[in-house]
Amino acid sequence: MLAGVLSWLMLDAVSMAPNRIVPGTPHRAHEVMGWWLSLLSLLPMLAIAALAWRPDTGRLRVALGLLVLLLAAMPLWLAAAVSALADPSMPQARLGIGPALWVLLFLWLLGVIELRTRLGLSRPMGWLLLVPVLLGWWLALSRWLEPLALYREYQGRSDQFISAVGHHLALVGAAVGASLVVGVSLALAMRRFPGLRRAGFGVLNFIQTIPSLALFGLLLAPLAWLAGRFDWLASLGVSGIGWAPAWLALVGYSLLPMVRNTYVALEEVDPAVIESARGMGMSRRQAFLQVRLPLALPVMLEGVRITTVQAIGLTAVAALIGAGGLGTFIFQGLGQAAMDLVLLGALPIIALALVADALLGALTERLRHGGAS
């Protein structure tokens, strides 16, 4: 919170530009709302810092409530900045979010996660805490934040944005699904043939060391040759660029965590438990499906979680070879020096990764606790 206070006082809070081309003029918080109101707005953060000095359950709950209120009030403060800085005679003016607000957003969300953990709140309760925050942003965007630069980038590309999200999720889902099937098969083969384990993990570790752009480049020539030689591959859309090299690279990067977690999960099941199952008359197949696999499933899901989060991020890089997805906005924004367009692609990727991590993490915890009981 003290770092947040310093950011609020020393960094630019917003910037106002007359249009998309001209760079914006930065403004600190006191230039928008005056020194007195700017200093008064620090009181909630100072109160949270004071509550954290000697924390107990009651103080931590109050601190958590204050953080949620701060997060919900941020879009309302941006609406006040629009009212103070926007010129009615310049309808194309755009309000950019400055570094002070990005730092505060990061620190406040970090504080919410820390307090949720200390209070022992469940993951669903943690998501419920964000409901008033999302409502605050929805209300502000629908009524007062039309000049927000990030929102205007979305308005100009809303159809492309929805298509990019769908394409991104489809590519991630196809890569994770394929790596799950191949990874589990490889792990089972390694358990059955110990000599395959060292060679298999050596190859998978080698693939992980290849930079993503280099791997995409290595796949261009062989896929283009295959598409030119076999018409049925070309009819499926396989070529040197596009979804095919991106999908193959994502599967390659996803195999190591999937195979490693599956192999370790199956190997770490207590042999005494399997022996007891066999002693009760179960066949090897029954003991595997009804005993070993359920006990190994939480650790296997950890591999799925790691693979999914990794694939969501790597799919952004695949836009460089025409694979589409949200990475398209990132590289378009970099080419046009439009940072809000970069954020239009980057922020949904972060959100997708967080949601996937939370959902799969909650499922893993549920299965682990169910297995322990």
Contacts of 253 (CB under 8 A, 6+ apart): 207, 208, 212, 215, 310, 311, 314
Backbone region of residue 190 per phi and psi (left: phi > 0; alpha: psi in -120 to 50; beta: other values): alpha
List, as one string, the DSSP characters of 211-246.
Answer: -HHHHHHHHHHHHHHHHHH-HHHHHTT-SSSSHHHH
List, as one string, the DSSP characters of 101-156.
Answer: HHHHHHHHHHHHHHHHHHHT--HHHHHHHTHHHHHHHHHHHHHT-TTBHHHHHHHH
| Predicted pLDDT of residue 318 | 87
Instruction: Write out the chain's pLDDT in tens, 373 residues.
Output: 999 999 999 999 999 888 777 778 899 998 888 888 888 989 999 999 999 888 889 999 999 999 999 999 999 899 888 888 877 777 788 888 999 999 999 999 999 989 988 888 877 787 888 888 889 888 888 888 888 888 988 988 888 999 999 999 999 999 999 999 999 999 999 888 888 888 888 899 998 888 888 888 888 888 888 888 888 888 777 777 888 888 999 999 999 999 999 999 888 888 888 888 888 888 888 888 888 888 888 888 988 999 999 999 999 988 888 888 899 999 998 888 788 899 999 999 999 998 898 888 888 888 776 644 3
- Do 324 and 167 meet the contact criterion of CB atoms below 8 Å apart? yes
Helix axes 339-372, 158-192, angle to 10 degrees: 40
Q: What kind and span of H or E run contains 272? A: helix 271-279
- Cα 270–271–277 angle (5° rounding)? 100
Count CA within 13 A, CB hemisphere, residue 33.
20
Report the distance separating Cα 62 and Cα 115, nearest Å: 10
Domains of the chain with bracketed CATH:
2-155 (no CATH), 158-372 (1.10.3720.10)
- Do 50 and 17 meet the contact criterion of CB atoms below 8 Å apart? no
Contacts of 119 (CB under 8 A, 6+ apart): 57, 60, 61, 64
Please count the other Cβ atoms lying within 10 Å of the Cβ belonging to residue 70.
23
List, as one string, the DSSP characters of 74-89.
Answer: HHHHHHHHHHHH--TT
Instruction: Find residue 94's DSSP bridge partners.
Output: 17
Structure tokens, 237: 């859309």
- Do 72 and 133 meet the contact criterion of CB atoms below 8 Å apart? yes
Instruction: Enter the pTM of the model.
Output: 0.84
**From residue 122, how far is each of 105, 280, 371 by CA, in Å?**
22, 38, 18
Report the distance separating Cα 304 and Cα 69, nearest Å: 35
**Listed residue (25, 27, 35) closest to 11, CA to CA:** 27
- Do 7 and 104 meet the contact criterion of CB atoms below 8 Å apart? yes
List, as one string, the DSSP characters of 300-361.
Answer: HHHHHHHHHHHHHHHHHHGGGGT--STHHHHHHHHHHT-HHHHHHHHHHHHHHHHHHHHHHH
**C-alpha distance across the termini of the chain, in Å:** 40
